[in-house]
Amino acid sequence: MLRAIVVVSAILSLTACDSRINPLNWFGGDREERITLNPDAVGANAIIDGRSLVAEVTQLSVEQTTSGAIVRAQGIMPSQGHYDAELVLVEVTDTVIAYEFRTAPPLGQSTAGLQQIDVAAELTVGELAGIRTITVISQNNRRSVGRR
pTM beyond 0.85: no
DSSP one-letter string for the chain: -HHHHHHHHHHHHHHHS--TT-TT--B---EEEE----TT---TTPPP-SSEEPSEEEEEEEEEETTEEEEEEEEEEEEE--EEEEEEEEEE-SSEEEEEEEEEPPSSSPEEEEEEEEEEEEEEHHHHTT--EEEEE-SSEEEEEEB-
Q: What is the pLDDT along the chain (148 residues), one digit of tens a residue?
A: 777 676 666 665 655 555 545 554 455 566 566 656 555 444 444 556 789 999 999 999 999 999 999 999 999 999 999 999 999 999 999 999 999 999 998 888 878 888 999 999 999 999 999 999 999 999 999 999 988 6
**What is the distance between the alpha carbons of residues 32 and 80, in angstroms, rounded to a whole number?**
24
